[in-house]
Structure 1
Amino acid sequence: MTETVVVLGAGYAGAGAIKSLEDALDDEADIIWISDHDHHLVLHEVHRCIRDPSVRQNVTIPIEEIKSPHTRFIEGEVTGLDCDDREIALADGSTVDYDYALVTLGSQTAYYGIDGLEAHSLTLKSLDDALEIHDAVKEAARDATPDDPAQVVVGGAGLSGIQTAGEIAEFRDLHHAPIEITLVEALEEIFPGNDPELQGALRKRILERDIEISTDDPITEADEDVIHFESDATLEHDVFVWAGGITGQEAMDGTDLDNEHNRVNAAATFETSDDRVFALGDSAIVDQPEGPCPPTAQAAWQAAEVAGENVARALHGQPLTSWTHEDKGTLVSVGEKAVAHNVVNVPINTFGGPGAKFLKKAVATRWIRDIAGSSRAARAWPDM
Structure 2
Amino acid sequence: MTENIVVLGAGYAGAAAIQSLEAEVDNADITWISKEDYHLVLHEVHRCIRDPSVRDKISLPIADIKSPSTRFIKAAVESVDTDDREIDLDDGSTVDYDYLVVGLGSKTAYYGIPGLEENSLTLKGLDDALEIHNQVKDAAREASRNDPAKIVIGGAGLSGIQTAGELAEFRDMHRAPLEIYLVEAMEEIFPGQDPEIQGALRKRLLEADINILTNDPITEAAEDTIYFDEGEPLEYDVFVWTGGITGQDALEEANVEKNHNRVNADATFQTSDERVFALGDSAIVDQLNSERPAPPTAQAAWQAGGVIGENVARAMNGQALTSWSYKDKGTVVSVGDDAVAHNVMMVPIGTFGGPAAKVLKKSIATRWIADVTSVGRAVSAWGDM
User: In the alignment, what sits opposite 2:372?
Assistant: 371
**Are 1:13 and 2:13 an aligned pair?**
yes
What value does the CA root-mean-square deviation take over the aligned residues?
A: 0.6
State the distance in 2 between where 1:207 and 1:56 align: 28
Residue 247 of structure 1 and its aligned partner are, at CA, apart by 0.3
CA contact (8 A) 2:81 2:253 kept: no
- The letter for the 2-side match of 1:370 is D
List aligned pairs for 1:197-212, cutoff 5 A. Answer: 197-212=196-211
Residue of structure 2 equivalent to 1:353: 354
State the partner residue of 2:323.
322
- Cα distance per residue 1:37-65 (max 9 Å; x no partner): 00000000000000000000001000000
CA distance in 1: counterparts of 2:115 and 2:70, whole angstroms: 43
Aligned to 1:89: 88
Letter in 2 for 1:209: A
| Structure 1 portions without partners, runs of 5+ | none
- Encode CA deviations 1:280-301: one digit per residue, 9 max, x unaligned: 0000000013211100000001
Which residue of structure 1 aligns with residue 280 of structure 2? 281
| SS of equivalent residue, structure 1 residue 118 | helix
User: 1:234-285 CA deviation, whole Å, 9 max, x = no partner?
Assistant: 0000000000000000001121110000000000000001000000000000
CA distance in 2, matches of 1:266, 1:204: 39
Opposite residue 331 of structure 1, the aligned amino acid is V
**Equivalence for 1:78:** 77
**Equivalent residue runs for 1:1-384 within 5 Å:** 1-26=1-26, 28-288=27-287, 289-290=289-290, 291-384=292-385
Query: Could you tell me how far 1:93 is from its partner in structure 2?
Result: 1.4
1:82-119 superposed Cα distances (whole Å, 9 cap, x missing partner): 11111111111110000000000000000000000000
CA distance in 2, matches of 1:369, 1:59: 12
Alignment gaps of 5+ in structure 2: none
8 Å Cα contact 1:306/1:321 also seen in 2: no
User: Is residue 116–residue 220 contact of structure 2 (8 Å, CA) maintained in 1?
Assistant: yes
Contact in 2 for aligned 1:265/1:285 (Cα 8 Å): yes
Q: SS at the partner of 2:116?
A: coil
Distance 1:244 1:344 in 2: 28
Q: Any idea what the Cα deviations from partners look like across 1:145-188, whole Å, max 9, x if unmatched?
A: 00000000000000000000000000000000000000000000
2 CA distance for matches of 1:156 and 1:278? Answer: 31
Separation of aligned partners in 2, 1:312 and 1:360: 34
Report deviation, 1:232.
Answer: 4.9
CA distance in 1, matches of 2:127, 2:115: 21
Tell me the distance in 2 between the aligned counterparts of 1:191 and 1:151: 22
User: SS of the counterpart of 1:227?
Assistant: strand
State, as a whole percentage, how many aligned pairs show the same letter. 70
Deviation at 1:10, TM superposition (A): 0.2
Q: Secondary structure at the match of 2:119?
A: coil
Number of equivalenced pairs: 383
CA distance in structure 2 between the partners assigned to 1:281 and 1:239 by the alignment: 30
The question of whether the paired residues in 2 share the 8 Å contact of 1:332 and 1:360 is answered with yes
Q: Could you say what secondary structure the match of 2:118 adopts?
A: coil
Shift of 1:25: 1.6
Asked if the contact 2:25–2:312 (Cα under 8 Å) also holds between the matched residues in 1, the reply is: no
For residues 320-370 of structure 1, give each alpha carbon's deviation from its aligned partner in whole angstroms, at most 9, with x where no partner exists: 110000100000000000000000000100000000000000000000000
Superimposed CA distance per residue, residues 213-250 of structure 1 (whole angstroms, 9 cap, x where no aligned partner)? 00000000001100000015200000000000000000
CA–CA separation in structure 2 for the residues paired with 1:317 and 1:58 = 41
Q: Tell me how far apart the structure 2 counterparts of residues 84 and 158 of structure 1 sit (CA, whole Å).
A: 38
SS of residue paired to 2:143: coil
SS where residue 333 of structure 1 aligns? strand
| TM-score in terms of structure 1 length | 0.99
After TM superposition, the score normalised by the length of structure 2 is 0.99
| 1:39 alignment partner AA | Y
What is the letter of the counterpart of residue 138 of structure 2?
Answer: E
Separation (CA, whole Å) in 1 of partners of 2:251 and 2:82: 11
Task: Say which SS state the counterpart of residue 102 (structure 1) adopts.
Answer: strand
